[in-house]
Amino acid sequence: MANDKKIESGAEYVTERGQVVWNTKAGSIVFDENTGQERLQLSHTSGANLNFNNQTVSLFAPNNAQDLTHGNKFSTTVGDNFSTTNSNKEERMFGDYTLITGSPKWFTDPIADNWIAAHHDIAAAKAAPEHTYGAIGNNTDTVYEEKGTPEEGSGAVQGGSYEPSPAHQDIPALLEAKAGEIAEIEREMGVGGSIKVLSLKHIHLQAGPKAITFDSGVIVPKGKSVTRKVISEDGKLKEIKTSVPIYESKDTSSAVPFGDVHISAGTKLNMNSGSGGVSIKSAGEVNLNSTGRLMLGGAEVAIGGSTSGKGGRVTIVTDKDVYIESGDIIGMDAPNINMFASNQITHKTPEAVYTGNLHVHGNLIVDGYIHAKGDIVAGAGGSNVSLLKHTHSGVCTGSGSTQKPN
């Protein structure tokens, strides 16, 4: 059944009124022709409808809604795009999934390169040493010339005489000179470009259907010869050797076609966790490398090397120095502790205590007294002389000299 009526009025803003309605058992089609309020609505008897008006195209499905496209599908939103799901949501792709944000100029113009070039002089000034002592940039290998006097004796800049760096004093002028150029480049970057993911419960990220647990290395239990201890034998030092494990890294995972996660941060990578902590576990190697400072801190820092075959090792290697400082105690506990220095070992302390024998293979030079509760014996073989029990022959009275100790 069709209902068609028109009302024309010259005195109202709505200069033309009209409506056509087609009603059937399955649903209806409504055409509204009111001036400025034109509307087309297709309705189903279930309540489902498709509505067209001057502001909106709306679709209502009281039950399920399905969309099938056999070819490609393209969707463009000029303004914002909002989507709400009151229950679960799943998106499944049998190919790759790519999510890109930001102005297309990032991909057509060298915006990032231009910004880096414009900011180069500012970054170089900020990276310069605080004073005019020599230094080397950790990433650019920039050499900063030394202009000053180091500490006498050590040659260290600490304790020397240097002027404040002029590069740091130039930073405000550089910022002012570059402000316009940098602002124009950042305007080309556009508004937005970030990705924000918020979950009020948990986030689970998984790559690959199953973990790969091939051996990523082998432990050779007796792989390296080291000195276990040093003994004196017939007046000569003798090293007693033993073996310790070594680890050989093996590449068994680079050819696996699934399971990788790559995160690349152009500037910073920040991770914050609550009291549940952070746990990183790997069946392969874990590398933490930085061209800058690497800091590990906590209420307790525990570093351990352990394997099922008791072949774990901890190795610390540095180009220059290792410095350990504690406010109270530093403890080392092992059946054997070896310290080797090609030049000198210095113990600077008010008092040193050795609870066992002290063997010195060389001269013992003491700038002070020697207090011994027991005897002191000098010499070797059958020529030993006791300080407490030795005797003399040829004893003379008065001012005469006795012979050497027996």
To the nearest 10 degrees (0 to 180), the angle between helices 171-188 and 111-127 is 160
Average pLDDT across the chain, whole number: 88
Residue 362's pLDDT is 84
Cα 168 from Cα 132, distance rounded (Å): 11
How many other C-beta atoms can be found within 10 angstroms of the C-beta atom of residue 128?
Answer: 19
Average pLDDT over residues 72-78: 94
- pLDDT grade, residue 406 (50/70/90)? low
Question: Per the domain annotation, does 378 fall within a domain?
Answer: no
Q: Which of 116, 117, 114, 112 is nearest to 102 (CA)?
A: 112
Whether residues 182 and 246 fall in one domain? no
Residue 1's pLDDT is 47
Question: Per the domain annotation, does 129 fall within a domain?
Answer: yes
Residue 245's pLDDT is 85
Whether residues 171 and 225 fall in one domain? no
The residue from 142, 173, 188 where one domain ends is 188
Cα 22 from Cα 320, distance rounded (Å): 90
- pLDDT grade, residue 81 (50/70/90)? very high
- Provide CB contacts within 8 A for 122, sequence distance 6+: 171, 174, 175, 178
Residue 359 pLDDT > 90, yes or no?
no
Average pLDDT over residues 192-204: 92
Cα 406 from Cα 385, distance rounded (Å): 7
Whether residues 114 and 180 fall in one domain? yes
Q: What is the DSSP string of 109-146?
A: S-HHHHHHHHHHHHHHHHHS-SBSS-EE-TTT-PEEPP
Question: Per the domain annotation, does 173 fall within a domain?
Answer: yes
| 15, 35 contact by CB (below 8 A) | yes
Q: What is the DSSP string of 321-332?
A: ------SS----
Whether residues 179 and 215 fall in one domain? no
Cα 109 from Cα 98, distance rounded (Å): 21
Whether residues 215 and 182 fall in one domain? no
Average pLDDT over residues 83-103: 92
Residue 192 pLDDT > 90, yes or no?
no
Question: Per the domain annotation, does 348 fall within a domain?
Answer: no
Number of domains forming the structure of the chain: 3
- Which three-class secondary structure string do you get for 349-406? CCCCCCCCCCCCCCCCCCCCCCCCCCCCEECCHHHCEECCCCCECCCCCCCCCCCCEC
Cα atoms in the Cβ-side hemisphere of radius 13 Å centred on 189: 15
Whether residues 118 and 178 fall in one domain? yes
Whether residues 149 and 113 fall in one domain? yes
Question: Per the domain annotation, does 247 fall within a domain?
Answer: yes
Q: Which of 265, 281, 289, 95 is nearest to 194 (CA)?
A: 265
Whether residues 232 and 178 fall in one domain? no
| 258, 207 contact by CB (below 8 A) | yes
Question: How do residues 310-326 score in pLDDT, each as one tens digit?
Answer: 778 888 888 889 999 99
Residue 5's pLDDT is 53
Record the tokens describing residue 377, joined without a space: 């014996």
Give residue 178's domain range: 105-188
Question: How do residues 122-148 score in pLDDT, each as one tens digit?
Answer: 999 999 999 999 999 989 999 999 999
Helices (H) and strands (E) in the chain, counts: 4, 14
Whether residues 180 and 217 fall in one domain? no
Question: Per the domain annotation, does 152 fall within a domain?
Answer: yes
Average pLDDT over residues 362-378: 88
Question: Per the domain annotation, does 360 fall within a domain?
Answer: no
pTM over 0.75? The answer is: no
The residue from 255, 286, 314 where one domain ends is 255
Whether residues 110 and 174 fall in one domain? yes
Average pLDDT over residues 14-20: 80
Whether residues 130 and 172 fall in one domain? yes
Question: Per the domain annotation, does 267 fall within a domain?
Answer: no
